[in-house]
Amino acid sequence: MKLMRKIVLGLGVVIAIIALTIVLFFRQEAYQLYKVVTFFDAGAISENFRGVKNIFPTTTVPKPEQSQPFPMSSQPYSLIENFQVHDSAVVTKAFLDQTLTDALIIIQHDTILYEYYGNGFSASDHHIAWSMSKSVISALFGIAIAEGKIKSIEQTVTDYLPDFAGTGYDKVRIKDVLQMSSGVGFNEDYGDFNSDINIMGRYFALGMPMADFSKKLRREREPGTYNHYVSIDTQVLGMILTKATGKSITDYMKEKLWSQIGAESEAYWIKDKSGMEFALGGLNATARDYAKMGQLFLDTGKWQGRQVVPREWVLASITPDAPHVMPGKRDNAVLADGYGFQWWIPEGSKGEFDAQGIYDQFIYVDPHKDMVIVKLSSNYHYKKDRKRVFHDLEIALFRKIVEQAKP
């Protein structure tokens, strides 16, 4: 019995030492993993979306020396009281509350008509973009092509990232990656704890390089034939961008984009242990600066008369050019929305396009009415919405706002 007690006591000491070692040397990783697992809990989601910088390592895109704020309209503006979806009336205020709207900005003719903040947010607060980050990566990619840093989107991933030979991205055209048609297999179901996207989140929480995770993915379909949203596609684009320009995404964005549009505030990117930005969804900025990205693409890449993103790139980014990326229900796509170069084209589009992020983040652009709408949310109901009801309601809301606007 004494021997058994000694063995049990010895094991207890070893376990305690291991636990203490984990706490001392992996405290940050353990905290990040905990935050990732509980990130979208109802009671914490808004604060988490606002306080990403307090959870993960980040890299900062500084505020430009000269900011160029949107002017505020001097005319009163009344938000629509309700809108129709499938013959049902939806009360706007109730919908904004239900989706836990953190910010809503309506801009027309380069002027803010309406601005609202909820859940403790203000105009100066940063909010994680999630997949709206992808549309910013697209803008930077277009600039790099114009500068000759990237020769052509007809080149392949492995032309720039030879270490991806033998992976799902081996010899895949850059264009197919831009159009979410890489053919790489990936489960993006946020409601499935064991989906690829959620495993990736826990992987990232531990600070492990996203390049390593990206190389684990394998080919599922012929590239360029099927529109399947794979977030890692954008991470690969970010790696190509970094390799081709010789600069981090942060530094390239500071020089080529943030300073050019007179951003009102700094931005920051979540980064992994290798220093690589979380290109697929790690951008954090204010609602007004997200609106600037919408305005930039509304004006086909120009900011106050100066071409920042090539016009041809902007038009290609918002113009589906093959059957599998055209808007509408189709056999060669998972979703009904169309897709350009990291920008969405809603089903039934009459020229509008948008950037989207999980939990209801939107930069919605309607060129015909010269309007940009930004909606940031902490909609924790999102992961249970398998039928994309919230998405359809958001688009209906934006369309009604545009419809009611003056020409």
Active-site residue, selected from the candidate residues 131, 138, 231, 265: 131
| Total domains in the fold of the chain | 2
Q: What is the 3-state secondary structure (H, E, C) of the chain?
A: CHHHHHHHHHHHHHHHHHHHHHHHHCHHHHHHHHHHHCCCCCCCHHHHHHCHHHCCCEEEECCCCCCCCCCECCCCCCCCCEEEECCEEEEHHHHHHHCCEEEEEEEECCEEEEEEECCCCCCCCCEECCCHHHHHHHHHHHHHHHCCCCCCCCCEHHHHCHHHCCCCCCCCEHHHHHCCCCCECCCCCCCCCCCHHHHHHHHHHCCCCHHHHHCCCCECCCCCCCECCCHHHHHHHHHHHHHHHCCCHHHHHHHHHHCCCCCCCCEEEEECCCCCECCCCCEEECHHHHHHHHHHHHCCCEECCEECCCHHHHHHHCCCCCHHHCCCCCCCECCCCEECCCCEECCCCCCCEEEEECCCEEEEEECCCCEEEEEEECCCCHHHCCCCHHHHHHHHHHHHHHHHCCC
Token digits for 258?
A: 């943030």
Same domain (yes/no): 6, 138: no
- Kindly report the backbone phi and psi dihedral angles of residue 394, in degrees, each rounded to the nearest multiple of 5, phi listed first: -60, -50
pLDDT band for position 110 (50/70/90)? very high
- pLDDT reported for residue 4: 62
pLDDT band for position 10 (50/70/90)? low
Token digits for 92?
A: 């706007």
Same domain (yes/no): 224, 292: yes
Give residue-wise pLDDT tens across range 147-178.
999 999 999 999 999 999 999 999 999 999 99
**pLDDT of residue 385 exceeding 50:** yes
- Of all residues in the chain, what percent carry a pLDDT higher than 70? 93
Q: Which of 108-117, 144-153, 274-283, 378-387 has the lowest mean pLDDT?
A: 378-387
Q: Which of 24-33, 86-95, 162-171, 232-241 has the lowest mean pLDDT?
A: 24-33
Same domain (yes/no): 29, 65: no
pLDDT band for position 42 (50/70/90)? very high
- pLDDT reported for residue 24: 43
Same domain (yes/no): 161, 32: no
- pLDDT reported for residue 18: 47
**pLDDT of residue 26 exceeding 80:** no
Token digits for 386?
A: 């398998």
Other beta carbons within 10 Å of 152 = 10
- pLDDT reported for residue 31: 77
Same domain (yes/no): 96, 7: no
Same domain (yes/no): 271, 323: yes
Give residue-wise pLDDT tens across range 340-355.
999 999 999 999 999 9
pLDDT band for position 116 (50/70/90)? very high
Strands 127-128, 361-366: pairing kind:
unpaired
Same domain (yes/no): 194, 177: yes
- Any idea what the CATH number is for the domain that residue 284 is in? 3.40.710.10
**pLDDT of residue 376 exceeding 90:** yes
- pLDDT reported for residue 231: 94
Same domain (yes/no): 127, 18: no
Same domain (yes/no): 178, 243: yes
pTM over 0.85: yes
- pLDDT reported for residue 206: 80
**pLDDT of residue 298 exceeding 50:** yes
**Separation CA 127–CA 124 (nearest Å):** 10
Same domain (yes/no): 254, 283: yes
Give residue-wise pLDDT tens across range 130-140.
999 999 999 99
Mean pLDDT of 322-337: 97
Same domain (yes/no): 53, 16: no
Mean pLDDT of 281-296: 98
User: Which domain range does residue 210 map to?
Assistant: 45-404
Q: Is 29 exposed, middle or buried (0-12, 13-18, 19+ CB in 10 A)?
A: middle
Is 131 catalytic? The answer is yes
Same domain (yes/no): 390, 364: yes
Bridge partners, 377 (sequence order)? 101
Mean pLDDT of the chain: 92
